[in-house]
Amino acid sequence: MIAPFTTCSAIAAGSFYSLCLRGSGEVYAVGHNGYGQCGTGSTTPAPYALTTPTQMIAPSTTCSAITAGSCHSLSRRGSGEVYAGGSNGVA
């Protein structure tokens, strides 16, 4: 996952997907996106998983922290605003 990048300041792993926070504040995702947890704007797994690191859609490209749950992702901007992507269901 890290090959296209020279630095990741943080990484997070969920169920079948991973996140990378670059030093510049951009967040990239790779892996299964069936619940929209990779933040691409789509819940369609194509061809089933993101095999190339893909930048997450966010109102700002400057995030300061990331975390990954089983089927959801969270990112925090420097201002403290938190953005979520993924499943809203209760298991």
- Flag whether pLDDT at 83 surpasses 80: yes
What proportion of the chain, given as a percentage, has pLDDT over 70? 79
Confidence band, pLDDT 50/70/90 cuts, at residue 59: low
Q: Which of 23, 16, 37 is nearest to 83 (CA)?
A: 37
- Flag whether pLDDT at 25 surpasses 70: yes
**E-only strand ranges, the chain:** 10-14, 17-21, 27-32, 49-55, 63-68, 72-77, 82-86
Strand partners, 63: 77
Confidence at residue 13, expressed as pLDDT on a 0 to 100 scale = 95
Confidence at residue 19, expressed as pLDDT on a 0 to 100 scale = 93
Confidence at residue 45, expressed as pLDDT on a 0 to 100 scale = 58
**Mean pLDDT value across the chain:** 82
The answer to whether the CB of 76 falls within 8 A of the CB of 64 is yes
- Flag whether pLDDT at 91 surpasses 60: no
